[in-house]
Amino acid sequence: MEILRRPVVVAVVRQGSTIFSILTLALFALLSAVSAQLDIPLRDDLLQTMIREAGSGNLDYRNVLAKLEFQGIQQCSNNVASQWAYETNVNEFTQSQALEAQQLYSEFQNQAWQLISRLNINGIRDPTIRRRLTFLSIVGPAALPPGQLERYNRVINDMLSIYNSATICAHNDPFRCGLRLYPDLSQIMAKSRDWDELQYVWIEWRRRSGNQMRDLYEQLVDLNNEAASYNNFTNAAEYWMFPYESPDLQQELDAAWNSVRPLYEELHAYVRRKLRDLYGPEKVSRQAPLPSHILGNMWGQSWTNIVDITMPYPGKNRLDVTQEMLNQGYTPIDMFRVAEEFYVSLNLSAMPPEFWASSLFVDPGDRDLVCQASAWDFCNRLDYRIKMCTRVTMKDLITVHHEMAHIQYFLRYSKLPREFRDGANPGFHEAVGEAVALSVATPRHFQAIGLAPRYSVEPSADINYLFALAMDKVVLLPFSLTMDKWRWDLFNRVVNREEYNCHWHRLREQYSGIKPPVLRSEDDFDPGSKYHIPANIPYIR
């Protein structure tokens, strides 16, 4: 499952899936460290003293880093707490509080950055100190002048407010309104086989979300590039790729995709034939791209919800323990306890008390919130949380294990310096989460925990299981590439503003073989219907 991070929280939130790359995130959490002992914000006289010491060669780098480490805890923790309050209760007040907290944090980071930028980092012999200071020298949007930084944060929060508050009315029932993405629309996209209803929901969600934020997103592209420039990058695409520390990242991604593409094309052709049989040749052509609204997911990024109508061996065993979970009376808390037992059995840590006391496990139902599953590190080595609108399903049980993998990773590196409290590169956190998810989502494991007592292993069942796995994991790859390649092209100015939406669908067809159900235009902004776009979160990780 995906893990997301809001750009304002950058290095500490793993939402199933971002902001900027993990290193950048680590920097946000880190640079705020300069304020507790150096005052909040840094006092000009103290800053100037440290700058003079740096110029004379008398600055004690270890002392500077120690101050950053000590002072950043409260600053980072306060900021993350404000973002948590906003994402768990989206309203104007919590939004303004989150913006204010982020602004203070960014001002703090900016002043620390001014100090670090005056140091001759390359001349430092100690490789650990040199690497820590290098991380601190790249602060992302915090390098923007105050007015631009405020506008940057405001643009992102305004887009997220549009996204999080978007609702539509029901198909053929204009008086039943207020349907939200989760759980209402996602359930319709997953379970309905009514072509017209699916098309209506697909269009309406984009009309109420992405289409409302196009002007804002154009501003964000400019602000991202300006922030990258202040950090000595050519543009935001280069900045987003920096944390991977690979000069050939795009070529490596293309090579990885080309190695999987033949399998994807076979899967695509097979699914197209099955959907053609269901909906008819007048709606699903033999050679054309797949209409994206009939793939069981709002964005066509996973096709697992149409496995029931495309399965190679219908009527044979299919691994889905949802009904067994319901029969056994599972609750969301039970699902988290089962995940905790899994990690303890691997000799890893039980969840700390703060996790159980402060996490949000279900949608309260009485307010707007960001329902994307996410894992949070509050920077203080004590407070770790998961935010998830959990439902009793096999899919969510796997997601719970995935999100808890992030908490385990947080715990493992919690003793390291702040600069190093993140994944080894932006892909590591997701790799850990997905490795666990693949281990958990097997017939043998579900049998071991009593959720698949009647599942019999036979070749046809194995093929059904592997097919369902491919409908999730293989299908996600071209979607992920499209998400970031589209933004890289915008940052690189390869695409004019007048072609944003057209270029999105061009890439979707090129990589995924998917098309929109109706003709789209530049009056639309379909990328904005996916959370990671307004949240400014890289996706390929």
Residue 169: other Cβ atoms inside 10 A: 15
Is position 541 annotated in a ligand binding site?
A: yes
Q: How far apart are CA 3 and CA 40, in angstroms?
A: 32
Catalytic residue among 2, 403, 419, 429: 403
Structural contact between residues 240 and 538, judged by C-beta atoms closer than 8 angstroms: yes
Task: Give the burial class of 416: count Cβ atoms within 10 A of its Cβ; 0-12 exposed, 13-18 middle, 19 or more buried.
Answer: exposed
Would you call 532 a catalytic residue per the annotation? yes
DSSP class of residue 181 equals I
Residue partners of 297: CB distance under 8 A and separation at least 6: 186, 189, 190, 303, 304, 305
Q: How far apart are CA 43 and CA 54, in angstroms?
A: 16
Is position 505 annotated in a ligand binding site?
A: no
Is position 171 annotated in a ligand binding site?
A: no
Q: How far apart are CA 460 and CA 471, in angstroms?
A: 16
Residue partners of 58: CB distance under 8 A and separation at least 6: none
Q: How far apart are CA 468 and CA 480, in angstroms?
A: 19
Structural contact between residues 285 and 357, judged by C-beta atoms closer than 8 angstroms: no
Is position 402 annotated in a ligand binding site?
A: yes
Q: How far apart are CA 278 and CA 276, in angstroms?
A: 5
Structural contact between residues 512 and 478, judged by C-beta atoms closer than 8 angstroms: yes
Structural contact between residues 292 and 515, judged by C-beta atoms closer than 8 angstroms: yes
Residue partners of 48: CB distance under 8 A and separation at least 6: none
| Adjacent-strand bridge partners of 387 | 360, 374
**Alpha helix positions (H), 313-413:** 322-327, 332-345, 353-358, 394-412
Q: How far apart are CA 253 and CA 259, in angstroms?
A: 10
Q: How far apart are CA 88 and CA 387, in angstroms?
A: 8
**Alpha helix positions (H), 14-126:** 22-31, 44-56, 61-87, 92-116
Is position 244 annotated in a ligand binding site?
A: yes
Please state, in angstroms and as integers, the Cα–Cα distance from residue 320 to each residue in 231, 373, 399, 469, following that order.
48, 21, 14, 12
DSSP class of residue 352 equals P
Please state at what angle helix 92-116 crosses helix 127-136, rounded to 10 degrees: 130
Task: Give the burial class of 473: count Cβ atoms within 10 A of its Cβ; 0-12 exposed, 13-18 middle, 19 or more buried.
Answer: middle
Residue type, 117: S
Using only C-alpha atoms, what is the Rg of the chain? 24
| Residue positions forming the annotated binding site for chloride | 244, 541
| Residue positions forming the annotated binding site | 244, 402, 406, 430, 541
Question: Which amino acids are annotated catalytic?
Answer: 403, 532
| Residue positions forming the annotated binding site for Zn(2+) | 402, 406, 430
